[in-house]
Amino acid sequence: MTLSTFDLRRARAETRAAAQVVHLNNAGASLMPIAVADALYAYLRREEFEGGYETAAAEQPALESFYTASARLLNAKSSEIAFIENATRAWDMVFYALPLGPGDRILTSHAEYGSNLIAYLQRARQCGVKIDVIPADSDGVLDLDCLQSMIDQHVKLISISHIPTGGGLINPAAEIGQIARQHGIPYLLDACQSIGQLPLDVDAIGCDLLSATGRKYLRGPRGTGLLYVAQPWISRLEPPLLDQHAAELTSPTSYQIRDDARRFENWECFFAGKAALGQAIDYALDWGLPEIADRVGDLANRLRASLRAIDGITITDQGRQQCGIVTFTDQRRSADEIQKAARAAGFNTSVSSGSGMFLDFSRRNISEVVRASVHYFNSEDEIDQFCAFIAATPE
Ligand SMILES: Cc1ncc(COP(=O)(O)O)c(C=O)c1O
């Protein structure tokens, strides 16, 4: 797809805020489209007027459609999907369920998300697992030959961020999946930044477990996320936390855990958000994920090329295949100063600091970068305006 064939007029008309602000913070939280925002407001209004339990009963079809939409998006089964309040907790629920012991090894990427790294370190401290970081090649991409050579009988998990939080890199998720399958090693994919931005097919990728958020490229509400657990893994993984939605008391001294992925859910949750996330997924599917990926990729390339031409700007994105996250530093100003000045001028961006990308940023001696993340509803004109703003000499 080329830039000219994308129906930008429709995308912007269906996004109320597109007329108000230049939103380049889609990797933080995107803007909800009208259909999603209105579904959320309608659900909340119904709760206000009818009561939360009564609304949940009446809205069962909308709540259930979250599972069917997620399954369609990922090429999974509805029974393999759980609704969880965010990507981190979704990831945690399976990570802490994996039976790991002293001497077991976790292989992870250098561009791993900070919270995941904290969880590895906690399990290393609690039960003696070893964390081994797979080196990056000269383009910053996870090195598949190194991954192959690092595998031995002690490797009990391959756990990778598909797209890191603070850079344009796309890791080769499917190639990693092939290696994981070849050796029968469980594969956990953090798809927080790739869901809604790239087509994701769990079968083609070969991951056993996948965590994701609703608020970023899927354009759902905050406080929503999802977890995919491949069928064979559901019964093998006992959730670290249970309630009476995840399990059922069968006698005063026994319980039975449910046999679908909802064993990882909480009974109480953001019901309105769940229904709205289902809408957001349907909305993304209606645009088509390949079309979204092309459009986002084109806009990000335009942004990178224009920024690169500005004196003092360094693009910090790595990778051979790149996504909608564009990161840079400016010799003249800190990332924080740029983000604040941009906000005042009507451009939403964010700052990625060392905590989210600890290993990668330390390795590259980066403390913080500006993150300008595009989505398909951004216009070429917005990209040009933002670059003109960045090029203007700071006072
Ligand atoms: C790669 C990656 N993983 C996980 C997360 C955490 O997502 P959440 O805030 O929904 O828990 C983020 C958030 O930015 C992320 O970029």
Give yes or no for residue 350 CB within 6 A of ligand 1. Answer: no
225 Cβ below 6 A of ligand 1 = yes
3-30+288-391: which CATH architecture?
Answer: Alpha-Beta Complex (3.90)
Vertex 295 angle, CA 291 and 300, to 5° = 150
- Domain locations in the chain as residue ranges: 3-30+288-391, 36-286
* DSSP character at residue 198: B
Check pocket membership of 194 for ligand 1, CB cut-off 6 A: no
d(CA 182, CA 177): 8
Distance 239 CA to ligand 1 centre (A): 20
SS3 content of the chain, % helix, strand, coil (to 5): 45, 20, 35
> What per-residue confidence (pLDDT) applies to 4?
58
What tens-digit pLDDT sequence spans the chain (395 residues)? 444 589 999 999 999 999 999 999 999 999 999 999 999 999 999 999 999 999 999 999 999 999 999 999 999 999 999 999 999 999 999 999 999 999 999 999 999 999 999 999 999 999 999 999 999 999 999 999 999 999 999 999 999 999 999 999 999 999 999 999 999 999 999 999 999 999 999 999 999 999 999 999 999 999 999 999 999 999 999 999 999 999 999 999 999 999 999 999 999 999 999 999 999 999 999 999 999 999 999 999 999 999 999 999 999 999 999 999 999 999 999 999 999 999 999 999 999 998 888 999 999 999 999 999 999 999 999 999 999 999 997 65
- Cβ count near 19 (within 10 Å): 8
- CA–centroid distance, 197 to ligand 1, in Å, is 14
Instruction: Report the alpha-carbon angle 323-89-256, nearest 5.
Output: 135
pLDDT of residue 23: 98
The finding on whether 213 has its CB within 6 A of some atom of ligand 1 is: yes
Q: Could you tell me if the CB of 117 is within 6 A of ligand 1?
A: no
CA of 216 to the centre of ligand 1 (A): 9
190 ligand 1 Cβ < 6 A: yes
pTM of the model: 0.97
Q: Are 90 and 115 in contact (CB under 8 A)?
A: no
Phi, psi of 86, deg, nearest 5? -165, 175
CATH topology of domain 36-286: Aspartate Aminotransferase; domain 2 (3.40.640)
Q: For ligand 1, atom 14, which residue shows the shortest CA distance?
A: 165
| 391/395 Cα distance (integer angstroms) | 12
Is residue 24 classed exposed, middle or buried when 0-12, 13-18 and 19+ CB atoms within 10 A define those classes?
Answer: buried
| Residue ID of nearest Cα to ligand 1 atom 8 | 87
188 lines ligand 1 (CB under 6 A): no
* C-alpha of residue 29 to centroid of ligand 1, in Å: 10
The secondary structure of 274-331 as a DSSP string is HHHHHHHHHHHHHH-HHHHHHHHHHHHHHHHHHHHTSTTEEE----SSB-SEEEEEET
CA of 27 to the centre of ligand 1 (A): 9
Residue 217 and residue 197 in contact, taking contact as beta carbons nearer than 8 Å: yes
β-strand pairing of 313-315 with 325-330: antiparallel
Give yes or no on whether 3-30+288-391 and 36-286 have one common fold.
Answer: no
What b-and-e string marks burial along 93-115, b requiring 16 or more CB atoms within 10 Å of the CB? bbbbbbebeeebbbbbbbbbbbb
352 CB less than 6 Å from ligand 1?
A: no
Quote the pLDDT of residue 3. Answer: 46
pLDDT recorded at residue 356: 86
Q: Identify any residues that bridge with 352 across adjacent strands, giving them in sequence order.
A: 369
In ligand 1, the atom with minimum distance to the C-alpha of 89 is 11
